[in-house]
């Protein structure tokens, strides 16, 4: 390949991959990298500095320097018709079958994911780009091992694309000897090849932006959008992006984040699983902080409920969509009683979101689309959304930092975290980033909760089981091989290879018992990945 000056790719480039990795597309990647990589690194350093202050006892609060934004009279730019109705959004990785199922699911919107539900192997990232290129042009098809063919139908969901977060690199691509941001790489390629086609079809280019911790990180994305539109001749404001509020720090800057992206904003989403992970991560050294079993941290515990309602308030105040998060429940085959319980849980989740004022919510499986749609229909009727519904409560640090419940912490909960962590990591190393485990759809966010809770229960004086035993490193070390055996048995019974699970167990032990808490599970995993 004739690569642009300064661009190096240390990975295989097949003839099919070369259709995505064109010199012109890589020139956009390189231009965005050179313009914005220094700011990305500066913002990542700000994260580290702030974490040090929080570890030393500082607690987050509203920013005094942005008070004028919170008190100002402004709205986001008008949204295109394709984003007016988003009652049900379905998500999944950039795999061909998953893309087809997402498009054909009957959902209003489909968020395809280069991030948490995708294992970032080189082949996954570039084949995902190829899949999206074909899907946007209605050319994508897939045939499974049994010969069944999957094709796109005529009723296609509105596509939204999630690139990787600011903390992730694309290790296979170097610009001037420096790794490129995974988020810039994912965005630039998919935008370069597809934005004009999406505009012509009246539905795009639309994105979901993950893991941000401040309005300055949103400003970086906005400036990237402006440059990308200028470089490609796409009209300014064509890009619309929904920000996942999935960090505790971003909660204090929701209006500021909307403001920074106001010409490109498509609202906010309550990303509950990463949000729980973020709370654990940020206050891991706080001796007064300790959350109960993951199963006890529902959207109805006070700190989670306050965060969700505040998101609705911030969005509707600014004329923006407020999107509910993902329930991890999925349909359960061959067990009617358990399946009915799972479907009732989904219905309850979406009923609450609709009544709270959310304009839509996420599901993880096509079989759940109709249930979610029914619950939003009951509340919205003929309206496409409820942007006009205003909330008048006041929320702030007293609500968002009141972390309850602290109990129960049980041996079952501890073992579940170990089991889910090993199972997910093993699948991720094998190239699968979205895994059904114990009748829940798990992705990187839930694996992060699992290993973070284990780490915190060991460190915290409040990490005490309901039978009065303190969670210790030795206790966890003894349970890991026991849970590994269970995971291997489960995986083998499903006809899958167990080759990656010993490594997964070692990584889980290293990450959950390290003296210094590793910031992200996926960072060392990615380095270990071929």
Q: What is the pLDDT of residues 69-121, one digit of tens each?
A: 999 999 999 999 999 999 999 999 999 999 999 999 999 999 999 998 888 99
Band the pLDDT of 530: cuts 50, 70, 90: low
Provide mean pLDDT across the span 249-271: 97
The residue that leads in pLDDT, 497 or 177, is 177
Q: How far apart are CA 523 and CA 117, in angstroms?
A: 15
**Would residue 162 show up in a list of annotated catalytic residues for this protein?**
yes
Domain limits, the chain: 12-325+394-398, 407-528
Report the alpha-carbon angle 469-470-474, nearest 5: 105
Mean pLDDT of the chain: 94
Say if residue 1's pLDDT is above 80: no
- Given 40, 318, 443, 451, which residue is catalytic? 443
What does the alpha-carbon distance between residue 162 and residue 117 come to, in Å, rounded to a whole number? 10
Measured CA to CA in angstroms, residue 72 lies from 62, 309, 479 at distances of: 15, 20, 54
Residue 418 pLDDT level (bands cut at 50, 70, 90): very high
Average pLDDT over residues 480-493: 94
Multiple choice CATH, 407-528, 2.40.160.20, 1.20.1220.12, 1.10.3720.10, 2.60.40.10 = 1.20.1220.12
DSSP 8-state assignment for residue 484: H
Q: Is 352 a catalytic residue?
A: no
Residue 63 has pLDDT above 70, yes or no: yes
- Considering the four listed CATH numbers 3.40.50.920, 3.20.20.360, 2.40.30.330, 1.20.59.20, the one that applies to the domain covering 12-325+394-398 is 3.20.20.360
pLDDT tens-place string over residues 317-341: 999 999 999 877 788 888 889 889 8
The catalytically annotated residue of 162, 164, 262, 318 is 162
Is there a common fold for 12-325+394-398 and 407-528?
no
- At residue 146, the pLDDT reads 86
Provide the sign of the torsion angle of the four alpha carbons 504, 510, 512, 516, taken in this order.
Answer: negative
Report the predicted TM-score, pTM, of the whole model to 2 decimal places: 0.94
CA distance 169 to 523: 9
């Amino acid at each position: 390949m004739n690569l642009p000056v300064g661009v190096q790719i240390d990975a295989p480039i097949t003839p099919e991959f070369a259709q995505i990795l064109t010199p012109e597309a890589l020139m956009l990647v390189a231009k965005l990298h050179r313009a914005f990589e220094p700011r990305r690194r500066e913002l990542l350093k700000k994260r580290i500095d702030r974490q040090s202050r929080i570890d030393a006892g500082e607690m987050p609060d509203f920013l005094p320097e942005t008070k004028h934004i919170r008190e100002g009279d402004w709205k986001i730019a008008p949204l295109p018709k394709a984003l007016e109705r988003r009652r049900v959004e379905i998500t999944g990785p950039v795999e061909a079958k998953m893309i087809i199922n997402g498009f054909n699911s009957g959902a209003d919107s489909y968020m395809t994911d280069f991030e948490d539900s995708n294992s970032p192997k080189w082949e996954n990232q570039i084949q995902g780009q190829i899949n999206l290129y074909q899907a946007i042009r209605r050319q994508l098809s897939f045939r499974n091992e049994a010969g069944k063919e999957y094709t796109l139908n005529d009723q296609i969901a509105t596509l939204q694309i999630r690139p990787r977060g600011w903390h992730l690199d694309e290790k296979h691509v170097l610009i001037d000897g420096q790794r490129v941001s995974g988020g810039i790489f994912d965005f630039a390629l998919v935008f370069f090849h597809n934005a004009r086609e999406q505009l012509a079809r009246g539905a795009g280019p639309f994105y979901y932006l993950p893991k941000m911790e401040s309005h300055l990180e949103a400003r970086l994305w906005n400036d990237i959008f402006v440059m990308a539109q200028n470089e490609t001749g796409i009209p300014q404001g064509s890009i619309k992006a929904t920000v996942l509020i999935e960090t505790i720090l971003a909660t204090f800057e929701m209006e500021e984040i909307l403001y920074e992206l106001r010409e490109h904003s498509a609202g906010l989403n309550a990303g509950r699983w990463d949000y729980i992970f973020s709370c654990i991560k940020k206050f891991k050294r706080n001796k007064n902080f300790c959350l109960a079993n993951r199963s006890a941290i529902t959207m109805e515990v006070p700190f989670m409920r306050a965060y969700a309602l505040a998101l609705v308030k911030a969005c509707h105040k600014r004329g923006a969509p407020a999107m509910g998060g993902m329930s991890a429940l999925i349909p359960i085959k061959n067990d009617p009683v358990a399946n009915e319980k799972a479907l009732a849980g989904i219905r309850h989740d979406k009923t609450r979101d609709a009544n709270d004022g959310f304009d839509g919510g996420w599901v993880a499986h096509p079989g759940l689309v109709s249930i979610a749609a029914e619950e939003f229909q009951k509340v919205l009727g003929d309206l496409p959304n409820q942007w006009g519904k205003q909330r008048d409560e006041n929320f702030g640090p007293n609500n968002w930092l009141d972390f309850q419940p602290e109990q129960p912490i049980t041996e079952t909960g501890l073992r579940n975290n170990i089991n889910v962590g090993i199972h997910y990591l093993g699948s991720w190393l094998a190239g699968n980033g979205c895994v059904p485990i114990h009748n829940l759809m798990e992705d990187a966010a839930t694996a992060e909760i699992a290993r973070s809770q284990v780490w915190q229960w060991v460190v915290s004086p409040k990490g005490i089981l309901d039978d009065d035993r303190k969670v210790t490193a030795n206790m966890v070390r003894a349970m890991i091989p026991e849970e590994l055996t269970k995971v291997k048995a489960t995986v083998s019974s499903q006809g899958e290879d167990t080759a990656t699970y010993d490594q997964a167990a070692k990584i889980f032990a290293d990450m959950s018992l390290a003296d210094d808490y590793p910031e992200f599970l996926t960072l060392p995993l990615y380095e270990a990945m071929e």
